[in-house]
Amino acid sequence: MKKNNKLHIIAAFLFGIIALAPLAAQVSAADRIRAEEEFRRGVQAYYRGAFNDSILQFEKAFAYLPGEPLILDWLGKAYYRSGIEGTALQQWQYALDAGYENLLLRNRMEIVHERRSIRPDFHELSRFVEASQITAKNGEAELFLQPVSVVSLENGTFWVSAYGSNELIHFDVNGQILHRARGPLTGFDRPFDLVRLPDGKMLVSEMSADRISVLDSQGRYITSFGSKGRQNGEFIGPQYIAFDSSGNIFVTDYGNARIVVFDPEYKPLFTFGKKSGSFPGFTAPAGIAVKDDFVYVADSVTGALFMFDTAGNFIRTLVPAGTLRGSESVRLWNEALLVSMQNRVCMIDSQTGALTELARLGNAPIRITGTSGDANGNLILADYKGNTIQVISRMSELVGGLFVQIERVNADAFPQVTMEVRVEDRNRNPVVGLNASNFLVTEEQRPVSAMKLVSAAYNDDICDITILIDRSLQASSYINEIRTAIAEIAAAMNGRGNLRIVSAGALPVQEGSGPSSTGTWRIFTPKAAASASWAFDMGLRLAVNDLINASEKRAVIFLSAGTVSENSFSRYGLNELAAYMTNNGVLFSTVYLNSGAAVPEYDFLSKTTGGKSYYVYRSEGLEPVVRDILNAPNGSYIFSYTSLLPTDFGRAYLPLEVEAYLMNRSGRDETGYFAPLE
């Protein structure tokens, strides 16, 4: 399709200018001064989020100073943040060709190239290798004994049940102990499995006490249920736990070779697992998981994985006997089942039963009893026999390191400087849970003074949302659904954050903005007329523009009738739109106004940016749409520090560097800024 946007016109003009590079030596002092001034304005526009303006300023600077690689580097950054990644890569290559020897730039180009060329599911299937290990002893001090189960949280931290030391331990992303929980006054009695409920509470099975204990989100004991025996609601050695969408709790009762089911109030409902029909009965039920209200249970002796409905009716044998002998926990991970075995971890497709081995940890004394995927894409393994907690990562991530970007610098109160940094892995996944000890901030390679981590976005409980409305002719019949969706989304924000509305008609229209608590959202009527030539791409660009300077947790929610017009991607391609959002930390979610209206293009944008797709009249309502945005991982961090650099009355370009570390991975970025003119 023909591209006619201003960014592409500027890019074409620049290609002609680059031919003048050999004339750089002939630049007059006056032109150099003009170039420096335009460059300073371009840097300031970039940090304001005005990327189009910054591109124009860098173009002017380049016209005065042809062949200057630093200008080309910044021009590439501005195109990158605008979502025009192909042009960004060209500018960076021109900078290298002009003699800009910069290893960080080469690394940035390699990562961007890789992101544009590798299919989205490539990394999901790559093999995991050991990245780090948390040992039970620190010198002579014993930190824990016999870890069994792991639960990961959205903020990058994780809880581990320690069977031998009768406690639960809360670790941060660096493997440092934050807190210990030891249960009721009498203490835990061999805590085994640990799960986290949607409301934040945790359940822990106590194998020797034959009970399940309930804890709050901080690990404080609330109550227990279950007892020793063979009747309904009783156990002999409870092990693994799962829960369904109704809140019912499923526990593998190892001693009685069955599953015991409780309601959300912890009252016993029924048991299942005896031999019946084509089901051979359990020999030694182990790990259990519930996905889409189907129950999956592994038998550690026979090595089979069985599938039931939530009423306990046998459906089929998903994985045949002999495949998963010695299996332990079964957990959900990336829409698949994650199975722990003695020295390996496997992923199983819940529909087909296809098995993929993700990691094999050799023949040393080892027994992996629990595995959990953490917020940063790693797998955390509890090694009961080896008495360690192992963190394994994809090989590609360990080799490639972290992708660190300095996105904004504010020096208005110089020498006090604030800086926004985004940390991701090579596959665009945000890295969460970092603290000040994970960063080194320098100016001219010297550590800055009074560096402080002001905020980390993964801890934020507010979000800014722009609702993009489909103004196609087909969407005209869904005005009531649109009003319902807007009202529910506004209510779900609970007054925390701002709400904006943009209509995607023939021309995009900003319909309104303000606090989400404003009551007028319940009676919304669009101003933009419905049109057969409605332009999704232009509407989405305007919606994202509104969010560039919004809170760190920000998203576009598209209310769609499930159609695509001729003009939907005539000005901006699908990949450019996805890049504009991912390069600026904006999630895209789709709410379909009629059932069965899924559109591959919109679902692609949702998956690529970390959003999801929903139906407007889903039984849970639209409150989970906002909750999912708030819970989505976010790798943005804000720092403050005191600069010690001379500013030359605001004319000097002040260099700034940031390095981020996580276990044995690291990443670095460098940039520059200007203090206010004096």
Residue among 499, 564, 501 at smallest CA distance from 536: 564
pTM beyond 0.85: the answer is: yes
pLDDT at 125: 55
pLDDT digits (tens, 9 = 90+) for 336-386: 999 999 999 999 999 999 999 999 987 778 999 999 999 998 999 999 999
- Are 123-398 and 408-459+635-673 the same fold in CATH? no
The average confidence (pLDDT) of the chain is: 91
**Both ends of the chain: CA-CA distance in Å?**
49
Q: Which residues of 50-68 are buried (b: 16+ CB within 10 A; e: fewer)?
A: bbebbbbbbbbbbbbbbbb
Please say if the pLDDT value at position 608 is more than 60: yes
- Give, in order, the Cα–Cα distances in Å from 420 to each of 184, 426, 638: 43, 19, 4
pLDDT at 663: 85
Query: What average pLDDT score do residues 124-137 get?
Result: 82
pLDDT at 519: 64
Give percent of the chain above pLDDT 70: 94
Phi, psi of 70, deg, nearest 5: -65, -40
Segment (H or E) for 608: helix 600-609
Residue 144's contacts (CB-CB under 8 Å, 6 or more residues apart) are 136, 160, 162, 164, 165, 167, 169
Quick count: other Cβ atoms within 10 Å of Cβ 434? 24
664 against 650, higher pLDDT:
650
Residue 609's contacts (CB-CB under 8 Å, 6 or more residues apart) are 578, 581, 582, 586, 587, 588
Angle of helix 6-18 versus helix 69-81 axis, rounded to 10: 160
pLDDT at 361: 87
Please state, in angstroms and rounded to a whole number, the distance separating the CA atoms of residues 224 and 212: 5
Q: How many residues does the chain have?
A: 678
pLDDT digits (tens, 9 = 90+) for 137-176: 888 788 999 999 999 999 999 999 999 999 999 999 999 9
Q: Could you tell me the pLDDT band of residue 653, with boundaries at 50, 70 and 90?
A: very high
pLDDT at 99: 86
Please state, in angstroms and rounded to a whole number, the distance separating the CA atoms of residues 643 and 450: 9
Q: Could you tell me the pLDDT band of residue 3, with boundaries at 50, 70 and 90?
A: very low
Please say if the pLDDT value at position 628 is more than 70: yes
pLDDT at 6: 45
pLDDT digits (tens, 9 = 90+) for 502-561: 999 999 999 988 887 766 666 677 888 999 999 999 999 999 998 999 999 999 999 999
What CATH architecture applies to the domain 408-459+635-673? Answer: Sandwich (2.60)
Domain extents for the chain? 6-117, 123-398, 408-459+635-673, 464-631
pLDDT digits (tens, 9 = 90+) for 234-269: 999 999 999 999 999 999 999 999 999 999 999 999
Fold of the domain built from segment(s) 464-631: Rossmann fold (3.40.50)
Segment (H or E) for 446: strand 446-447
State whether CATH 2.120.10.30 applies to domain 123-398.
yes
Tokens found for residue 613: 């797709």
pLDDT digits (tens, 9 = 90+) for 44-75: 999 999 999 999 999 999 999 998 999 999 99
Please say if the pLDDT value at position 89 is more than 80: yes
Query: What average pLDDT score do residues 1-27 get?
Result: 44
pLDDT at 26: 65
Query: What average pLDDT score do residues 581-595 get?
Result: 95
The CATH number given to 6-117 is: 1.25.40.10
